[in-house]
Amino acid sequence: MKVRSTFALVVALAGPAAAGEIVERLVARVNDSVITQTEFDRRLQSSKSDPTAPSGARELRLAILEQMIRQSLVADKAATLGVEVTDAEVDEALERVKSQYGLAKDEDFDRALASNGMTRAAMRAQLHDTILTNKVLSREVQVGLNDDVLRVEYEKVKEKLYGIPDRARVAEIVVRYDPDDAASHDAARAKIAAAAHEIETGVSFADAARKYSEGPTREKGGDLGVVSRGDLTPDLDAAIFGDASRTGPVETRGAEHLFRVTERQRASFRPFDEVKEEIRKRLSEEIYDRKFAEYLRDLRKSSFVKIFDADLAAADKQWQKDKTASTTIEP
């Protein structure tokens, strides 16, 4: 499931230090945990190789912090629920990542990580956080969709998403000509007329195609297979999807055509049972994203979160306000 988040960072001194004493700078506090400057800088650096990260420096810092705050909130909730992630689960996820990118050898995998500013330990930490988040959300964010809901959605979107155009099984005879040569065009007309005459007198369309056609389907008796309305040019579409079983001749630039339609399937829709799971997946993701956003807002409201930089604290406040205004939850 896709998780949307935004990043924010504020850096400030935790407080005055005694002379000669080095104090770790704090970016934020989340309940009883803190996000330090060192942790934040490490995450910020690794994010710079991510093409999906925000391009603006301030936006990137805000996004990073929001991500880290979210992870801290989820970790606290996981502890409350007794949810844990085992090393074996992280190992399995790591192997899936290696397989996905075709990196069977550890040294190749480590080089790939290094080229993206990451270490194996950092990757394991990210996978741990992802698995933990998914476990918590699978308990806390439920999406229930019965067949009645899915059928209503099907009726709403079938015209746009699940239409099947007119289709026809077609055989063709094609005679080509040079569009800049009148004599060549006259010869093509005569040849297509001869083919049409033989068909009228009882010669099968397939035999006439093998004799006269200059198209790639000649050896198959002109069999073009099944075509859908819109696959061919408008003139050919109009000819094929009319009412007659044989149409032509139809003239296009460079060719004369005869068609025989042996089977028709009028426009329809993919059946509900065929697309039901596709609809369920799409709706589940859309509803999940909205409910997840709502869940995180509620979780943050019930937690203590302090950002120490006034500028980014203000940006975070505006972001929270915008998210609240833009997100609606379906029942």
Q: Across the strands, what pairs with 246?
A: 260
- Please name the helix (run of DSSP H) or strand (run of DSSP E) that holds residue 252, with its range, or none: strand 246-252
Where do the structural domains in the chain lie, given as residue ranges?
A: 26-142+278-326, 164-268
User: Residue 123 in contact with residue 93, Cβ under 8 Å?
Assistant: no
For the entire predicted model, the pTM comes to 0.54
Residue 14: DSSP 8-state: S
pLDDT at 325: 66
Report the distance separating Cα 262 and Cα 245, nearest Å: 7
Tokens standing for residue 320 = 């929270």
Dihedrals phi, psi of 241, to nearest 5 degrees: -100, 20
Question: CA end-to-end span of the chain, whole Å?
Answer: 20
pLDDT at 158: 93
Distances, alpha carbon 119 to alpha carbons 72, 99, 114, 127, 293, in Å:
21, 17, 6, 12, 30
Q: What is the pLDDT along the chain (331 residues), one digit of tens a residue?
A: 333 333 322 232 233 344 444 467 888 999 999 999 888 888 888 777 777 788 788 888 888 888 899 999 999 999 999 999 999 999 999 999 988 888 888 888 888 888 877 788 888 988 999 999 889 988 888 777 889 999 999 999 999 999 999 999 999 999 999 999 999 999 999 999 999 999 999 999 999 999 999 999 999 999 989 999 888 888 888 888 877 666 778 888 999 999 999 888 888 999 999 999 999 999 988 888 888 888 888 899 899 999 987 777 887 887 777 776 665 434 3
Tokens standing for residue 294 = 């709502």
Report the distance separating Cα 238 and Cα 162, nearest Å: 23
* Same fold across 26-142+278-326 and 164-268: no
pLDDT at 9: 27
pLDDT at 157: 94
Question: 199-208: long-range contacts at Cβ-Cβ below 8 A with a sequence spacing of 24 or more?
Answer: 199/246, 199/258, 205/171, 205/173, 205/246, 205/258, 205/260, 206/171, 208/173
For helices 37-47 and 57-81, the axis angle rounded to 10 degrees is 120
- Other CB atoms within 10 Å distance of the CB of residue 191: 20
Handedness of CA 284, 285, 287, 292 (dihedral sign): positive
CATH of domain 26-142+278-326: 1.10.4030.10
CATH of domain 164-268: 3.10.50.40
